[in-house]
Structure 1
Amino acid sequence: MHLAYPAVLAALLFCVGLYGVLARRNAILVLMSVELMLNAVNLNLVAFDVWLRDALHAGQALTLFTIAIAAAEIGIGLAIVLMVYRNRGTSDVDRLRDTAEPAESGATPESTDEKAEAAA
């Protein structure tokens, strides 16, 4: 097997995933694009493992760890996206920049430090 074929396919998959991360606004599609990038890495790991004829199959073992981490990332990421959608009503990534709670009116960082010192 030539190494060029899976390497080119993995590079194309990674580029499509990178485009999806940079261009998409929906958080679900961003998570799917990250998964696509991780799958491109998995393809490279297995291809190089076969090409190098590693006796320990380290590339395949790393692929299993990557799949486990990707599953955990998707589970936590979807939970966060669902909670944000319930609270904000949208999963638009551009609108999520304002997730911090609004500051008290007229409160400056100096006045909050003075209040903390007075309370202590």
Structure 2
Amino acid sequence: MGEWRMVPLEWFLILSAILFSIGAYGIMIERNGLKVLMCLEILLNSANINLAAFSRENLMGQEFALFSIAIAAAEVAVGLALLIMLFRYMDTIDLEKFDLLRW
């Protein structure tokens, strides 16, 4: 089929684990809204790598990965729209300064 089948599954899993760790660390540490959205995208991409890596026999995992990419695109569009709206009202995208939804 393709030459990518020669790459061991463990390499894909290690890459995915590294990307997941970077994304999780960024979400927990960062205060900037754009950086949090980028780290969330890294998390979703690590899940897509796992889905594609485990779908060597059938294409089901790749179909789920494409569906996940479409959902990630919608999530980014909504997230950026919210950040732009909050920036217009608060003049910052620091997530710790947003207390609009608190009681």
TM-score (norm 2): 0.90
The DSSP-based 3-state class of the residue aligned with 1:49 is coil
Say whether 1:75 aligns with 2:99.
Answer: no
User: What is the RMSD of the two structures over their aligned residues, measured on CA atoms?
Assistant: 1.3
Q: Which runs of 5+ in 2 are unaligned?
A: 1-6
Query: Residue 4 of structure 2 aligns with which residue?
Result: none
Query: What percent identity do the matched residue pairs reach?
Result: 41
> What is the total number of aligned residue pairs between the two structures?
97
Structure of larger gyration radius: 1
Say whether 1:92 aligns with 2:98.
Answer: no
Q: Which runs of 4+ in 1 moved over 3 A?
A: none
Aligned pair in 2 of structure 1 residues 101, 36: CA closer, same or farther (>3 Å)?
Answer: closer
Tell me how far 1:48 sits from its aligned partner: 0.5
Query: Residue 61 of structure 1 aligns with which residue?
Result: 63
TM-score (norm 1): 0.78
Tell me how far 1:101 sits from its aligned partner: 8.0
The amino acid across from 1:71 in the alignment is A
